[in-house]
Each structure stands twice: as C-alpha cells, then as structure tokens.
Amino acid sequence: MIYVKDNLFALHTENVSYVFRVTDTLHLEHLHFGGKITLDGDSIPALMEKREFLNGNLNAYDREHGTLSLENYLLEMSAYGKGDIREPFVDIIYADGSSTSDFLYDGYKVLHEKSEYDTLPGSYSDYGRSEQLILYLKERYSDIVMELHYYVYERCDVICRSTKLRNESMQAVTLKRLMSAQVDFDDSDYIFTHFNGAWIREMNRVDNTVTAGRFVNASYTGTSSSRANPFVMLSRRETSQNFGECYGFNLIYSGNHYEAVDVGSFSKLRFVNGINPQGFSYTVGPGERFEAPESVMSYSDKGFNGLSGNMHEFVREHIVRGTWKYKERPVLLNSWEAAYFDINEEKLLRLAKAGAEVGVELFVVDDGWFGERNDDTSSLGDWKASEKKLPGGIRGIADKVKALGLKFGIWVEPEMVNVNSRLYEMHPEWVVDIPGRTHSEGRNQRILDMVNKDVQNYVIETMSRLISSADISYVKWDMNRTFTDYYSKCLPPERQGEMAHRYVVGLYHCMKTLTGRFPDILFEGCASGGNRFDLGILCYFPQIWASDNTDAMCRARIQEGYSYGYPMLALGAHVSACPNRQTLRNTPLWTRFNVAAFALCGYECNLCEMSEEELEEVKEQIDIYKEWRSVLQFGDFYRYDENGAGYVSWTCVGRDKRYAAGLLLQGLAQPNMPDKRFVARGLRPDAKYHFYNIKFKIRSDSGNMQADTETEDYHVYGDVLMNSGVRLSQGFAATGYNERVRVFPDFASRIYFMEEE
Ligand code: GLA
C-alpha cells in the first residue's frame, strides 16, 4: 500500500514500512525502513531529524538553512558537492565541467498499472497489485530530471526501486554513476554479508562487521560474477537463522554491479547498489534518458530464514515468468560429465537409453556437438552439428532420443566465438577487442560484441534456426569467459564507458526476443556454473546451472549459499560420478541425490558405466524425486544452523504445508558421536505428521560392509517436529550394531519425509 499525506510518503507491505518525507529544502529525508509502523499527520515531528546548530566543520546546505548539513542526514538519494561526502547515489559531469548536483523534489505520481520498461527487465505482478510510486526530482541548476520509482510487493514484504534520468536540457551530460537504491540507516551496528567465490566455489557466505569507512562488494567480470553475487544482507550481530532483524538487497542485473556500505562520521550507515561505476560513464544527450536496473529490498525480523522466505516468494512470483513459472521441471540427464567433448550419436543414444530406463525425462547434449569441437580451442560460433559425430544432424539425434520417450535438449554458447572458427573468419570485427592491441585470453575464446545490432541479430537468427531445426525442448545457454579489453567498435571513443552496460542491454534484447519466439522451451542459464547467477537472467530463463561443482559436500554449501537470496526452483543440481571430477572425493550415491533433490535434480554421469545395483538406486531416486518434486521445487526452504558443527540440515515445506522433506547431511564422521535430533521448520504446528526416512542400502567403498538404513517412523504434531525435534536412532559408536543403529560414515545423509495425516 502506498500512503501519501502532505509531504510524507509511506510504502507498506504486510509486515514492513518504508517511509520518507520532503524537507523544507525539497530534499528527501529517509525516515524508516523496517517493521510496520502506523502513521498519521502527527508522525513526522517524531520521525524527522532535529537540527538546532550545525555540527563543527560541516558545511551548511545554504545560507537560509544554516543548521542543515547533508553530511549528517538520512537521505533517499545523495550527490557530491553540497556537503554530503558519503557514497553518492548519482554523479554527473555537466557541460561546464562541474560535477555538483542538487536534485530537489518536483512532484510525484502513484500508478496502479506497472509501466513498461525501456531496456532492462524488471519485477512484475500477475495479480492485482502493481502499485508504483514515482518521485520526480529536478536538478536545481540544470534541466536534468531524476525519477525514483518504488514498487510495492505486499505479500512478500519486498519493495523495489529503480532510477531513471532524463536530460531535458540543451547540452549533453556525462553520467559517472547512477545507483538503483540507497538506504541510509541511523546506526552502523550491522553485519554486512556478501557471497564471494570463484569457479566451482560459488556463494560462500562472508560476514563482515561494519565499522567506519567503506566496504564494497562488486563485480568486474562483465557478468554478475561468481566472485561476488549481487545479493547481500545487513543484519544485527545477534541475528540467526530464525530470529532477529535483517535486510536483503539484490539487483535485477547481469553485468558489473556494485554494493557499498559507507559509515560516515556520525555512525550513520549508507547502503547503495547499482551498476558498478568502475569503468562506467554514460553520455546522456539532450532529450535522452538513462535507466538504472531495478533494486530489490526486503526486511524481516524473523532471521535469515524469514528474509530468505521473502526473497524466494518474490523471485517465484515476480521474477520468474512464462510457461515454466509454475510447471514442474523435468529430470534431465546431461552429457557433459558423462563424456565431455568425446561424444558421438551412438554413445549419446546409449546414454539416453540408459537414462530412459531409469526414468530420466529429458536428455541434454552438452558441449562438443558442433563444428570441429573436440576441445575448447575451436568452433564456437559455428552452430552446425558435426557430421562426423552426428551424421543425422541435430534433427536425427533429437528424433531418436524422442523415440526413446525422452525430450531433447541442447547446449549453446551464443555470445562467444573461437578465433579458430568460420564465424571469426567471416566477422573478426564482431568480437570485443581493442584494435591494434593484443587481447587477453580466456578459455581460448572471444566475446561477441552484443552492443552491435548485427551481432544481436546474428545471435537471434542463428539460435532461432537451431531451435526450430528439430524438436528441441530445452536449451542450456552458457557463457564461459569473463571480460577483458572492454571495447566496442560500434561506439565512438568518448562512449566506450557505456560498453559493458550496453552489452547487457543487447543480451537482454536477444533473450527477450528468443524466449518470446519460443515460449515453451525450458532455458537454463549458465556461465561456467554460477558466473552469471542473478535476477536479470531469471527474468528470462527460469533456471540457472548453479555451479560446475557437483561434489555433494561442496554442493550442499553452494546451494545453501544461494538459498539466502534465491529459491531452489532457480537452481540446477546434478548427481555425478565418483570420485568427483572437481574434488576427487567419494560420496555415497544417495548423498549425491539427497543434496541434488533439494533443487532441480538431474543426472550428469555415465549411467552406462554404473553397476546394476547403482542403476537400481538411481531409478528409485528418480521415482522418489518425481513423487516429491512439487514440494522440493516449489516449497519453502529453511536452513537449520544449530545442528552442530559439520552438519547441514534443511527443511523444504510444500506450499500447503501438508508435505515436507528434511535433509540431514554430515561432513566427516566423528567416532562415538553424540546423539542427533532432526528439527523441522515451517510446518503447521497443530497438524499431525507422519515422519519417516527413505530406506536404502549403505555400502562401503570396498563393498565389504552392507547395511540397511535404520527405520525412523513417528506420528507427531508439527510443533513437536519444530520445537522439540525427533531424536533419531542411535548413531554407530563402534560398540555394536543392529538394524536400529544409524550407520553414518563420512558424508552420510538422510532425507526425512513428513506427511500430514
Ligand atoms: C561450462 C559449463 C559446463 C559445461 C561446459 C561445456 O563450464 O558450466 O556445465 O557446459 O561449459 O564446455
């Protein structure tokens, strides 16, 4: 709900309020972002900042407002030059060379219909609400208009912001930065959490105690980056998974992003997020406009799980769209870890057949099927099947896969080209490089300049031709190198600072056109795993390959990292072979499944090399997953962090709370272990549930020890499961064993199901 009274603006969701006002000087003073508050005409005096005297050594805004310093004020947006020296929201260089901006309030509008976006994807609403507040600000000495847009998503306690800038003057200005959101907090007693990483090591939660000065989480790879995901949090020291205050921020953007916290001299904390200003500059000519990506903000006083719940609901309802939004995702078998580049029709069909026999629904031919692609040194750009490997072309193999009762999917990397390719021979001018300089190398490939309209059209038409050439149901859209030598030959020298952003805009144009043309195709985003895992991609592609790391132990941590800001419905997760290709670790097949089952479960291993016993297990796993995937894919996901060191524990609860699944996963086994409980989350306290475990055979590596899993079977109320938990069977303690003992060697895990009775 949007409430406007005189100079007061309040945005209310079910549990959260976001409030600001217009000051006498026509600035926007931020008053509150947090738990819901009731406001009327008397509220402002209590909420506003009091100033009788100017603090020493500060600059007053102007002569008439001698006690007001913008350096010590909570603001909705800020600029350099009028006293505020903290992280700015906007930075513009004007035609006269000056760079002081003073944006002042100039009216507002409330819209009940969501307006169309120009160039960037944004959140949307299917049902009723799409209230939008637009604040118009005008720069005091120039005709530059800034629009601050606010969107309210009541049910998930999310408020989004975006910024647009219009140049109504006669002269061009240079934009050095335009942030998407700014939130000023009264104090700095916060933990700033970001998720850092690398290839096959994505989404490590890092908690930074905020002190004075600045802390920046940002991406420089041209993508949203596995090094620093755009999702970040601010929380109190005492905040835990289920208790305490926390704020979450994300950006609907797939390029270089920037999230900064800045604590100024008066211990106020400023948060901003938006496009990374590093290397960015954008000329906005007379009559032109610039749109910054949408920022997503949420608050919860129910701990990290509460915040994640808001974000999950928001992404499911207001980001993911199209045919697959509410549709169960298929169990796929991907050829990559099964065969890498060494593929041919016969081998692929053998694999597909083995997949069909265990219940796989979709067979995906990954890299290696086109041109002369036998390793990563050639052929990107030549999207025609290798006649040697696939004599019947894509159509031939697709038909044969279909005849096995499977859907067919394919891997592509449309934004890239190898120098060793026909495409590069024809269009060397299409790649991102700086004329006359040597280019840095990344996976032997170059990035196509998506700023170039011809390149965009090439991508759209080539992909359209490929997708229509056979009965294709799924496309994995990969992007395997990061940017160096930023340069677009389509832009004049003074506009090169626009390149990285214009690339993202070009990419979105292609994604929008293709997903519009092929609405039923299931697209899965990918960038060397999670190098472009963000809300911008999820606006077009309903799922993303979360990491090239398929080791169950690493995956549990990576998936848990994503779960802070993203629903499990967005994450591809595959069972692969052991020893694992990324860590050389052996983990039980059931553990590999148990972890993958909490996201979009697929298989990526050579089923043809598996033993009868293993294939039986895989078949059982797929049956279980199919039966439970409506819960596991669309359910509410909770982390449990008090389960003792070395354990991972999750609960996923179906939307109607009638069914739930829990995971208990152990790292290295400790001898003579303490007893264990399983504690659930998110159930109906007054509903009675049947709690039981999946039963399977536990095999040691050498095969000389076999045991059946213990039986857990209880009938208890939801409040028992949540407030007390189930005391599980005694763990193996080296003093005896029978069928009631929980054999829990290294990397053991269990799934517990809960069904309302
Ligand atoms: C990237 C992807 C992998 C696989 C390979 C193929 O690394 O993340 O899943 O598709 O490319 O080259």
Radius of gyration of the chain (CA): 27
Which tens digits make up the pLDDT trace of 16-71?
999 999 999 999 999 999 999 999 888 899 999 999 999 999 999 999 999 999 99
Q: What is the 3-state secondary structure (H, E, C) of 447-506?
A: EECCCCHHHHHHHHHHHHHHHHCCCCCEEEECCCCCCCCCCCCCCCHHHHHHHHHHHHHH
498 and 491 in contact (C-beta within 8 Å)? yes
Q: Looking at residue 117, what is its pLDDT? A: 56
Strands (E), 16-101: 16-22, 28-35, 90-93
Beta carbon of 299 within 6 Å of any ligand 1 atom: no
Is the pLDDT at 645 greater than 80? The verdict is: no
* Token pair recorded at residue 690: 């049947």
Give me the mean pLDDT over the 229-253 stretch: 97
Beta carbon of 367 within 6 Å of any ligand 1 atom: yes
Q: Looking at residue 264, what is its pLDDT? A: 92
Is the pLDDT at 643 greater than 60? The verdict is: no
Give me the mean pLDDT over the 646-658 stretch: 95
Question: Which of 644, 649, 642 is CA-nearest to residue 664?
Answer: 649
Q: Looking at residue 150, what is its pLDDT? A: 96
Which tens digits make up the pLDDT trace of 609-621?
999 999 999 999 9
Report which secondary-structure segment, H or E, holds 338: helix 336-339
Confidence of residue 705 (pLDDT cuts 50, 70, 90): low
390 and 346 in contact (C-beta within 8 Å)? no
202 and 561 in contact (C-beta within 8 Å)? yes
Count of other CB atoms within 10 angstroms of residue 128 = 8
The dihedral formed by the CA atoms of 200, 254, 513 and 365, expressed in degrees to the nearest 10 = 0
Among protein residues, the one with the nearest Cα to ligand 1's atom 2 is 528
Beta bridge partners of 378: 420
- Give the pTM: 0.97
How many Å separate Cα 335 from the centre of its chain? 25
* Positive or negative torsion for Cα 731, 736, 738, 744: positive
Q: Ligand 1 center to residue 148 CA distance, Å?
A: 39
Beta carbon of 226 within 6 Å of any ligand 1 atom: no
- How far apart CA 461 and CA 484 sit, in angstroms, is 27
672 and 713 in contact (C-beta within 8 Å)? no
Give me the mean pLDDT over the 511-522 stretch: 98
Pocket test for ligand 1, best of 200, 335, 336, 477 (most atoms within 8 A of CB): 336
Contacts of 671 (CB under 8 A, 6+ apart): 733, 734
Which tens digits make up the pLDDT trace of 346-357?
999 999 999 999
Beta carbon of 480 within 6 Å of any ligand 1 atom: yes
Is the pLDDT at 130 greater than 80? The verdict is: no
Is the pLDDT at 703 greater than 80? The verdict is: no
User: Where does residue 736 fall: left (phi above 0), alpha (psi -120 to 50 degrees), or beta otherwise?
Assistant: left
Is the pLDDT at 368 greater than 70? The verdict is: yes
Among this protein's residues, is 656 annotated catalytic?
Answer: no
- How far apart CA 596 and CA 592 sit, in angstroms, is 6
Residue 608 DSSP one-character state: G
Which tens digits make up the pLDDT trace of 580-595?
999 999 999 999 999 9
Q: Ligand 1 center to residue 534 CA distance, Å?
A: 18
* Positive or negative torsion for Cα 380, 385, 390, 396: positive
Strand, coil or helix: 416? strand
154 and 14 in contact (C-beta within 8 Å)? yes
Q: Ligand 1 center to residue 340 CA distance, Å?
A: 9
Ranking 79-83, 118-122, 750-754 by mean pLDDT, the lowest is 118-122
Among protein residues, the one with the nearest Cα to ligand 1's atom 9 is 548
The residue count for the chain: 757
Task: Give me the residue label for tokens 């749109």.
Answer: 291
Distance (Å) of CA 54 to CA 50, 67, 101, 184:
11, 4, 22, 20
Question: Which of 431, 489, 481, 439 is CA-nearest to residue 458?
Answer: 431
Q: Ligand 1 center to residue 363 CA distance, Å?
A: 16
Is the pLDDT at 317 greater than 80? The verdict is: yes
256 and 287 in contact (C-beta within 8 Å)? no
Residue 71 DSSP one-character state: G
Beta carbon of 548 within 6 Å of any ligand 1 atom: yes
Pocket test for ligand 1, best of 332, 343, 367 (most atoms within 8 A of CB): 367
Beta carbon of 526 within 6 Å of any ligand 1 atom: yes
Q: Looking at residue 494, what is its pLDDT? A: 96
Report which secondary-structure segment, H or E, holds 699: strand 697-699
* Token pair recorded at residue 629: 């995937």
Contacts of 263 (CB under 8 A, 6+ apart): 188, 210, 211, 212, 213, 214, 269, 270
Beta carbon of 418 within 6 Å of any ligand 1 atom: no
Pocket test for ligand 1, best of 380, 410, 411 (most atoms within 8 A of CB): 411
- Ligand 1: atom nearest CA of 604 is 9
Is the pLDDT at 99 greater than 80? The verdict is: yes
- How far apart CA 276 and CA 77 sit, in angstroms, is 17
The letter for the amino acid at 628 is W
Task: Give me the residue label for tokens 């004049």.
Answer: 492
Which tens digits make up the pLDDT trace of 534-571?
999 999 999 999 999 999 999 999 999 999 999 999 99
* Token pair recorded at residue 343: 């593929």
In 88-241, which residue ranges form alpha helices assigned H by DSSP?
none
Q: Which residues of 729-744 are buried (b: 16+ CB within 10 A; e: fewer)?
A: bebbeeeeeeeebbbb
Helices then strands (H, E): number in the chain? 13, 40
Beta carbon of 231 within 6 Å of any ligand 1 atom: no
* Token pair recorded at residue 519: 């609405």
* Token pair recorded at residue 371: 């041109």
Contacts of 225 (CB under 8 A, 6+ apart): 219, 256, 257, 482, 531, 532
Q: What is the 3-state secondary structure (H, E, C) of 419-455?
A: CECHHHHHCHHHECCCCCCCCCCECCEEEECCCCHHH
Mean model confidence pLDDT for the chain: 95
Q: Looking at residue 127, what is its pLDDT? A: 56
- Ligand 1: atom nearest CA of 476 is 10
Distance (Å) of CA 275 to CA 272, 494, 634, 741:
10, 19, 31, 55
- How far apart CA 395 and CA 403 sit, in angstroms, is 12
- How far apart CA 156 and CA 14 sit, in angstroms, is 8
Point out the catalytic residue in the list 184, 548, 551, 636. 548
The secondary structure of 267-317 as a DSSP string is S-EEEEEEE--TT--EEE-TT-EEEPPPEEEEEESBHHHHHHHHHHHHIII
* Token pair recorded at residue 614: 């293993």
Among this protein's residues, is 548 annotated catalytic?
Answer: yes
Beta carbon of 528 within 6 Å of any ligand 1 atom: yes
Point out the catalytic residue in the list 157, 366, 478, 636. 478
567 and 596 in contact (C-beta within 8 Å)? no
Task: Give me the residue label for tokens 């359209």.
Answer: 464
Confidence of residue 128 (pLDDT cuts 50, 70, 90): very low
Which tens digits make up the pLDDT trace of 499-512?
999 999 999 999 99
- How far apart CA 749 and CA 2 sit, in angstroms, is 47
